[in-house]
Structure 1
Amino acid sequence: MTVGLRAVGVARGWIGTPYVHQGSVKGAGADCLGLIRGVWRELYGTEPEAPPPYTADWGEIGGDQGPLLAAALRNLAVAGGKGSPGEVLLFRMRDGAVAKHLGILAGGGDSFIHAYERHGVVESPLSAPWRARIVARFFWPAS
């Protein structure tokens, strides 16, 4: 089984975890970064780096792509193409804003798992509006 498929299985185990800003505990609370961090821990053990404290509106507007892109470029491999299960997706939530939302591509590329405010960790359709917000795609490191 590829690391991407394992990541999808691990992420699905987090579905139902409530949304908690800066959280990263399966069943107790997670935000989108916390979900990625939790999946990383289940796949590899120790996280590659600790995130700095951040506010709920961090990175709303900025001249660059923001700290999530920089961290992804340090720790993940850039993916190209149309997508493989398990890819980490980085989204820009609105025009002019930095990329600040993460998810994991699931299914046949038609859904993704993410932690979303007021919803918790869910699997959502990767609809056209979500697809339009994708800034970058990343592969997990080989284990």
Structure 2
Amino acid sequence: MRRADFLEIARAWEGTPYHDQARLRGVGADCIGFVVGAMQEATGRHIAAPMTYGRYAVPAVALQLIADSGEADEIKVADASPGDLLYMAIRRNPQHFALLLPEGWMIHCSEPAGVRVVPYAGWMRERTRHAFRLRFLED
């Protein structure tokens, strides 16, 4: 799938309300639920990701979730392109997922705002600890 097509799917989630451990466009999602839901919508297949996890993800668990899914490869944060998955620290450790958009923007789901497009700048950029390239995306 082309990156632009995937990002169009991700942007269709904008306005979805925040709901812990949900992943249904227009109904509710959390940060990983939004990403997994958009990936499932894009690929038409189930993405291996648990439905039960703590409110504040343990970094090792989240990184293992990505590795186990077989859907992404870690890349350098500096090499991230639109459509790549970002994993950032909100508190001390990484615990928040977002998708990079073109021209300095990202899309993510947070409480209480839900899924929205925001600038990828300031503390969001500074606290990005990992980036992943989704295997189903073509340049």
CA contact (8 A) 2:15 2:114 kept: yes
- Judge which range, 43-52 or 116-125, deviates more: 43-52
- Once the two structures are TM-superposed, the CA of residue 73 in structure 1 deviates from its matched residue by 2.8
Aligned mates of 2:99, 2:39 — CA distance in 1: 12
Amino acid corresponding to residue 88 of structure 1 in structure 2: L
- Unaligned 5+ runs, structure 2: none
Normalised TM-score (structure 2) = 0.87
Match of 2:128 in 1: 134
Cα 1:91–1:123 shift into 2, 3 Å: same
Aligned mates of 2:86, 2:45 — CA distance in 1: 21
Match of 1:120 in 2: 114
Percent identity reads: 28
Match of 2:75 in 1: 79
Match of 2:98 in 1: 103
- Once the two structures are TM-superposed, the CA of residue 52 in structure 1 deviates from its matched residue by 4.4
CA contact (8 A) 1:6 1:86 kept: no
> What is the correspondence of 1:24-43 to structure 2 with a 5 Å cutoff?
24-43=23-42
Q: Over residues 6-37 of structure 1, what are the superposed CA-to-partner deviations in whole Å (9 max), with x where a residue is unaligned?
A: 22111100000000000101000000011111
Match of 2:89 in 1: 92
Q: Over residues 21-61 of structure 1, what are the superposed CA-to-partner deviations in whole Å (9 max), with x where a residue is unaligned?
A: 001010000000111111111111222313141232343xx
Match of 2:47 in 1: 48
- Judge which range, 38-47 or 27-36, deviates more: 38-47
CA contact (8 A) 1:66 1:100 kept: no
CA contact (8 A) 2:80 2:133 kept: no
The 4+ residue runs of structure 1 with deviation greater than 6 A are none
- Judge which range, 126-135 or 77-86, deviates more: 77-86
CA RMSD of aligned residues (A): 1.7
Normalised TM-score (structure 1) = 0.84
